[in-house]
Structure 1
């Protein structure tokens, strides 16, 4: 597997994208906020959506289209308006825009999906969006930086990546873009990710691979513990490389490459977390089971007390112990060891030496560091990724709509 520099969803064969400024929020902005990702040929498609019981209209619309025998060519995406909590009109607006997109892009009926992100509870400015949608065919290109920009909300930068996977029969590419900065929690959050590949893969294998990749990437990150209404990860496979990967060996290679791509995009979301100054890996090892390891890690990663401790660069290990116990996993207080990077700070549930505090604080002064909790109750482990909680997070979200 090789990384392709400055590339994303248009790196695989046959994919193109476009973006335009539709002023969806209605504040006179010329920010890119409306785009399309499309394949030359129909794709096998798989998706993972938020587990929130309140699901935005685009998710309901996409699920309907993916459970029918439709040939899917691509997806329309907007930022600035989530089209969530918008009732029947919101779903109707998805259909109107998809139909208009299929018309102007000269695609089959029922072949476009919809994805949205932004403010909840407001109807889409459909007439304005239809007008700007007609600009997209002329803007289609094999370069995806503008598409990556049009999906951003409070993000400070684009997030995209592509990898080349070589096999004995030839090579194929996997590319991806993502957005996300706040409302990031397990079972996804205000994040969208679009992944493409030109590998030939069955729908069932594609679904299985995506579910596995999402579990250890997008569902292993947290910024603020809030779950959104619009979280979606889509993967489109058009097979244009001609490389059939529906064998055990090739699927294993594909899974490893997809895992890597999703994990790196997920890490970028955490690093770009709203107001974040720290990127922290929480590693829980020697747990009774993988599920328990992840549950313990997420309990620590989501704790406001722990996250403010990261921001203050204070090695208050008691908060880590308290969260470990509060996760209700199999553990014994007198067996727990805690490390700051490679510095063993706590052994058998007791601080080793107060003189180590300065060294631990120096580790926490770095932009990235790892906290390891060794439960010593089994042999399972998991990693999750989190950020600190700063003053700027409050400022950003206090006036989000304005």
Structure 2
């Protein structure tokens, strides 16, 4: 059984604390916090998923090496404003330096500290500013600072994205909490996102990684804002076992259900907060010939600039949906295809049912969140993608991103 925790986040599970501070990472004398620290009172098993981009940022490469070593971790340092990507050997050395300094302050091994960064690519990381924050961050670690950490990792995000659930199983209770950032450069195969998920469940690394992989595939890998993939995408899942509730094959599905709830909520928040977006749309493709074709079709529609601008104008131009589906590579008969706007049957057998339905479709598209379903009638497989509209504000935000 799952229970939503009000105002929950990464510090909701037992033993996790967080802190944030301003390091002026972009050098513009901004006062907002841009550095954060998560720390666990007990060493954590951890699982991770990283960007599939060939160009990987230094913190991604650093964390991948820590994951290979198989040891436990106790802390995560994260910054916004600078991606520490395309910075060569110095970028990696700066990750090592940060880990060593913060590990020393926390009295743990340097291999126990993970690093995450987000922001402008190709700019050297101002590592001395980060080192100077060590005492401030460590001294302000607290179990009610999860929201401040979540704010510190924001870039073009307009809202904090955090949540937590309590999971009740026959073996006992445990909690899962998480936060994420992401609004632009969002494409399937993660997104331009950092996500930090914590749990006090007692679970081994193999099961932890399995659960993360299974949940990523149907949540964060189903989000698109603009079709661009980042160099820094990172999801970290830490488990410190402090609830004393063991997760094994008997209650693994309960754990996965809780994790899925967290990740699905955060994924939807990313789509809803897409750069310049005014609404979130769920694209559901069902009855495809197989799962891969369902995914091809949903992804093509969700990423189409023509479709996304149609969403922005609230124009129920279903022909664009048909054209994108047909260009996706999925095999289906257009003359058997149905389209629904929420529960309203709009297109049947590849033709509009009644032009009088356009006004109802228009009204549905005025909503902040709605679902478009494409029924291909070609099989029994289905999937969904989360996307958003593409507005003029997206261009403004990204044209001035470095300003």
Same fold (TM over 0.5): yes
Counterpart of 1:133?
134
Q: Distance in 2 between matches of 1:180 and 1:157?
A: 10
Distance 1:366 1:319 in 2: 20
State how 1:38-187 maps to structure 2 within 5 Å: 38-143=39-144, 144-187=146-189
Partner of residue 209, structure 2: 207
Residues 255-296 of structure 1: CA distance to partner in whole angstroms, max 9, x if unpaired? Answer: 111111100001011111111011101110111112221221
Give the distance between the partners of 1:285 and 1:347, measured in 2 at CA.
14
TM-score norm. by structure 1 comes to: 0.98
Distance 1:187 1:384 in 2: 12
- For the Cα contact (< 8 Å) 1:197–1:236, is it kept in 2? yes
RMSD (CA atoms)? 0.9
Q: Distance in 2 between matches of 1:262 and 1:71?
A: 23
Which runs of 4 or more aligned residues in structure 1 lie more than 4 Å from their structure 2 counterparts after TM superposition?
none
Pairing partner for 1:246 from 231, 245, 248: 248
Tell me the distance in 1 between the aligned counterparts of 2:215 and 2:397.
Answer: 30
Which residue number in structure 2 is paired with residue 237 of structure 1?
239
Q: Is contact 1:189–1:230 with CA below 8 Å preserved after alignment?
A: no
2:225 counterpart residue number: 223
Specify the SS of the correspondent of 1:8.
Answer: coil
Structure 1 Cα separation of the partners of residues 259 and 104 of structure 2: 33
Deviates more, 1:268-277 or 1:286-295: 286-295
What are structure 2's unaligned runs of at least 5 residues?
none
User: CA offset at residue 71 of structure 1?
Assistant: 2.7
Which residue does the alignment assign to 1:308?
309
Give the C-alpha shift of residue 57 in structure 1. 0.3
Q: Secondary structure at the match of 1:88?
A: helix
Q: Is the 8 A contact 2:219 2:267 kept in 1?
A: yes
1:340 deviates by: 0.9
CA contact (8 A) 1:12 1:173 kept: yes
| 2:399 corresponds to 1:398 | yes
Deviation at 1:133, TM superposition (A): 2.1
- Matched position secondary structure for 2:251: helix
Q: Tell me the SS of whatever aligns to 2:119.
A: strand
* Contact preservation (8 Å) 2:191, 2:223: no
Partner residue, 2:321: 320
Instruction: Report how many aligned residue pairs link the two structures.
Output: 401
C-alpha separation in 1, matches of 2:323 and 2:351: 13
Q: 1:358 deviation in Å?
A: 1.2
By how many angstroms is 1:72 displaced? 1.0
Q: Counterpart of 2:256?
A: 255
Deviation readout 1:329-360 (Å, 9 max, x if unpaired): 12111111111111111111112222211111
Any idea what the Cα deviations from partners look like across 1:218-249, whole Å, max 9, x if unmatched? 000111111000001110011111111112x3
Shift of 1:129: 1.1
Other-structure match for 2:373: 372
> CA separation in 1, counterparts of 2:147 and 2:117?
18
Does the aligned pair in 2 maintain the 1:285–1:293 contact within 8 Å? yes
| Shift in Å, 1:169 | 3.0
SS of the residue corresponding to residue 16 of structure 1 reads strand
2:364 corresponding residue in structure 1: 363
Residue deviations 1:160-190 (CA, integer Å, cap 9, x gap): 0000001223210000000001011100221
After TM superposition, give the deviation of residue 126 of structure 1 in Å: 1.0
Q: CA deviation at 1:375?
A: 0.3
Contact 1:45 1:234 in 2 (8 A): yes
Partners in 1 of 2:160 and 2:354 — Cα distance?
43
CA contact (8 A) 2:171 2:251 kept: no
Whole-Å separation in 1 of the counterparts to 2:191 and 2:332: 29
Mapped partners of 1:332, 1:269: distance in 2: 33
After superposition, give the CA deviation of every residue in 1:50-108 in whole Å (9 maximum; x if it has no partner): 11110000000000011014331121000000000000000000001110010111112
- Aligned-partner Cα distance in 2 for 1:184–1:109: 31
- Give the SS at the match of 1:381: strand
Partners in 1 of 2:276 and 2:342 — Cα distance?
23
Report which stretch shifted further, 262-271 or 126-135. Answer: 126-135
Q: Residues of 2 paired with 1:282 and 1:7: CA distance? A: 28
TM-score, L = length of structure 2: 0.98
1:380, CA displacement in angstroms? 1.0
